[in-house]
Structure 1
Amino acid sequence: MSTFTPFEEKMESAGVPAAAVKAFSRCYEALVSNHSGMIPEMDIQPADQVEDWQDITASTPAADKDLISQCVCIKLNGDLGTSMGLQKAKSLLKVKGEDTFLDLIVRQVKHLRSISGTPVRLLLMNSFSTSADTLAYLEKYASDGFADPAQVELMQNRVPKILADGLAPASCPEQPELEWCPPGHGDLYPALLGSGWLDR
């Protein structure tokens, strides 16, 4: 049995999509092989084949509404503001009067829809910690199409905690939620693939 098998079984039993299990498997293998993932600065070379922005914009036709209508604005929204004394999504923090970060995000997307004339989609990359509060808050924008979870939510995947001693899955039967890493890591690509959003 592979040392990753208990993690795979735990994730599958929690309903974590295969794409996320595979991504976590690669990270776990890097951990057990002591691969740091660091690239020495002396190995990094500057990008010298990048086109000049002015050349690109000078030769680009006006924005194509069909292309803009296929765009999706994805915002990471999975972290609680516990370090700031909050017990809800950081995006629900009031930043200007009664307006929250989430209000500003919605306004940005509405403005983009207005100036482009297309229904640009907003996807909030929520977590198990932020989903309920965020979706409840978005009810005030129901008439604008921002309140339907099936249309605005991309859920982050859960990953198990790893015990430093033995590199096995953490176990806490009296509080099973503590066996999982805190949300906020934003596993964008496995989440897009595993959720079906990539195909949509």
Structure 2
Amino acid sequence: MATDSEKLSKLQSAMAELTQISEKEKSGFINLVSRYLSGEEERIEWSKIRTPTDEVVVPYDALAPAPEDIAETKKLLDKLVVLKLNGGLGTTMGCTGPKSVIEVRNGFTFLDLIVVQIEFLNKKYGCNVPLLLMNSFNTHDDTSKANTIVEKYSNSSIDIHTFNQSQYPRIVAEDFMPFPLKGQAGKDGWYPPGHGDVFSSLMNSGKLDALLSKGKEYVFVANSDNLGAIVDLKILNHLVNNQNEYCMEVTPKTLADVKGGTLISYEGRVQLLEIAQVPDQHVNEFKSIEKFKIFNTNNLWLNLKAVKRLVDASSLKMEIIPNPKEVDGVKVLQLETAAGAAIRFFDHAIGINVPRSRFLPVKATSDLLLVQSDLYTLVDGFVTRNKERTNPANPSIELGPEFKKVGNFLTHFKSIPSIVELDSLKVSGDVWFGSNVVLKGNVIITAKEGTKLEIPDGAVLENKVINGPGDI
């Protein structure tokens, strides 16, 4: 059995044969593997965990108002860059390309909405907020080729730049060798190593130095599928005035978010605690919304000079997330990191406890149903919640496998039902919705196996269980 140092040495030699990636990527990968093999992971001592104070996790309502003066606001926004994490594919929703080019509402994709929002800011304040897209090798071609976002907005008032995150080889579990050298030369041999890679990729791409040379100070980083992640002047103003190098937006946990990472105070510093770091005997405590009341939205604000300082010093040693997979019957390992875990390395790092409206991710077609419905309106690229909805929580929606893929989902609705007064919806089987359907309260619709159940145009279903046409 090879020792860890023998494994590392053999892997290093093998990496020299991989011509598809840069020397910087090779060295970043070897560094990650070496940290993983050394088992340097810090164990969290449960008894040392403290609940962060309001100085560490600042309530959003406690922030000073943003400047009202247009010239002052322009000065603030000219320090800012928006960076969207655009490496994800829409495979869970049955799409082949980048998730961000899925149509969300009124013919607009996620990326269309992001661009329209930034154009609105740039026009309103006469500022120049650029947009950066961090692609992965999976999404780069689709985002950059003709008729896609960069081409589409080439004449707009917004600078759009793309760069790729690192491309690392999957490791064959059996002998710890790179998968691309073991017969998997295609895309399946590689993986993007998580969004924790954003720091070094910003640096390696040359984008970080270019932004600093233009006087940019802060970058707002968010997932491209989070429709709530819009530029917030109150947050930016607070960070500039208090010289915070890092800010993580957190929001109150509901029972749907119990696995999300949370912020803790640990040995005098603010730190992200993920479920994978929690000892087995404390997992239920971690999931409790009584003790750990907030979770990470992955909306992050970073000081660019601080990012450069820490990357230059190789200080960003985020916790490694081992992600075992099976590809073509071969067991492989991916080592990843998360950007939120970097919070403990920055000075004056804080969380801000933001309203739930800033966390509106679209992970599945059930989320798409929410944002396409009358629960939201679309103005200037901003998706805003309908004020007629009195319940602060969104309806809980469960759609069966017939609705999983975006294409199938769309064909099952003549128009998206009204759900402003809906509490929960559960649909299973081959159910088809007519136009102008209204759903209220708790609704369960089940089509018997092998039968097609049609909800007629204009039907109003309130607190109903429907198993056939006679129940409507």
TM-score bin (small chain):
0.7 to 0.9
| Residue matched to 1:175 | 185
Q: Contact 1:80 / 1:129 at 8 angstroms: preserved in 2?
A: yes
1:146-170 Cα deviation digits (max 9, x unpaired): 6x8xx51021110110111232211
Q: 2:129 matched to 1:140?
A: no
Other structure's SS at 1:134 match: helix
1:76-127 Cα deviation digits (max 9, x unpaired): 1111111211110000101113111111111111122123321100001112
> Which structure has more helix as a fraction of its residues?
1
Q: Relative contact order, CA 8 A, sep 6+: which one is greater?
A: 1
Give the one of 7, 16, 40 matched to 1:9.
16
User: Looking at CA atoms only, which structure, 1 or 2, has the larger radius of gyration?
Assistant: 2
| Residue matched to 1:25 | 30
Q: Contact 2:11 / 2:178 at 8 angstroms: preserved in 1?
A: no
**Structure 2 residue ranges without an equivalent (≥5):** 1-5, 211-472
> Which structure has more strand as a fraction of its residues?
2
Q: Contact 2:74 / 2:126 at 8 angstroms: preserved in 1?
A: yes
Normalised by the length of structure 2, the TM-score is: 0.37
Shift of 1:31: 2.3
Against the structure 1 CA distance between its residues 78 and 7, is the aligned structure 2 distance closer, same or farther, given a 3 Å change threshold?
farther
Aligned residue pair count: 194
Q: 2:47 matched to 1:57?
A: no
**RMSD (CA atoms):** 3.0
Q: 2:49 matched to 1:44?
A: yes
Which letter does structure 2 place at the counterpart of 1:73?
Answer: V
Q: 2:119 matched to 1:110?
A: yes
**Structure 1 residue ranges without an equivalent (≥5):** none
Against the structure 1 CA distance between its residues 93 and 59, is the aligned structure 2 distance closer, same or farther, given a 3 Å change threshold?
closer
Cα distance in 2 for partners of 1:66, 1:117 equals 10
1:41-68 Cα deviation digits (max 9, x unpaired): 4433333343676665269896453442
Other structure's SS at 2:154 match: helix
Normalised by the length of structure 1, the TM-score is: 0.79
| Residue matched to 1:99 | 108
Other structure's SS at 1:199 match: helix
| Residue matched to 2:85 | 76
Other structure's SS at 1:144 match: coil
Which letter does structure 1 place at the counterpart of 2:136?
Answer: S
Cα distance in 2 for partners of 1:38, 1:93 equals 40
